[in-house]
Amino acid sequence: MKQYKIRFKLKGRKVLDFAECEDGATAIEFAILAIPFFILLFGILELAVIFFIQSNVQNAAFEMARQVRTGEFTGSENQLKNKLCREMNPGIQNSELAACRARFTEVKVTPLGDFSNSTNFAPAQPAANPADPPPPNVQATAGGDTVLMEVTYRYQLALPGEVSRMSNTDAGNFRDIKIATAFRNEPF
């Protein structure tokens, strides 16, 4: 069976049938697939950055927990944030650590008491009167205390949260990285 191509003459030029014309097909296919491809690519890169930052925050928090456990660190919340940022960014000047300190939204060191004869997991301090100010986030610990250390680092996502679904806060396009560790202080 012979196939015939239908050709039209229009003012002296030959024009192929519209169904046979494929001049812009590749460009249109690329335009359709490019947006999901680049969203997926940037999502993978952002997830890798989040894992790297989480590992970095976790390492800094565990190093600071070791200093609290051995009695090396006794200071305020701001000093703890400074030391955490110093652990995360060695070699950076103190004046350049302000952005890092601002990203630590919550830093707590709370003595939980001695659990050797008890199954009560409430904090060691007595119930506070509602009129009293709340205890400081970083409390002094003694040798042998069981201590809970919590750190929250807020990372701003590059991709919109509606696209990547990596945001876990109501505050906008942020991901909160939370690290918690419980330990018993050495006798110091």
Q: What tens digit of pLDDT does each residue of 96-140 get?
A: 899 999 999 999 998 886 555 555 555 555 555 666 776 788 888
Percent of the chain with pLDDT over 90: 45
CB-CB contact of 153 with 177 (8 Å): yes
- Would the pLDDT of 47 be above 80? yes
What is the arithmetic mean of pLDDT over 17-46?
82
Across 19-33, 101-115, 168-182, the highest mean pLDDT is recorded for 168-182
Give me the pLDDT at residue 13, please.
47
Give me the pLDDT at residue 16, please.
46
Whole-model pTM?
A: 0.73
What is the arithmetic mean of pLDDT over 140-156?
91
Spatial strand order in the sheet of 174-184? 104-113, 146-156, 174-184
What is the arithmetic mean of pLDDT over 148-177?
90
- Would the pLDDT of 154 be above 80? yes
Give me the pLDDT at residue 5, please.
57
- Would the pLDDT of 141 be above 90? no
Amino acid at 33: L
- Would the pLDDT of 153 be above 60? yes
- Would the pLDDT of 72 be above 70? yes
What is the arithmetic mean of pLDDT over 140-162?
89
Q: Which of 157, 139, 158 lies closest to 148 in space, CA to CA?
A: 139
Tokens 């002296």 correspond to 12
C-alpha angle with apex 61: 185 to 43, nearest 5 degrees?
155
Q: How confident is the model at residue 165 (pLDDT cuts 50, 70, 90)?
A: confident
Give me the pLDDT at residue 44, please.
94
To the nearest 10°, report the CA torsion of 156, 160, 165, 167: 30
Over the chain, what is the mean pLDDT?
82
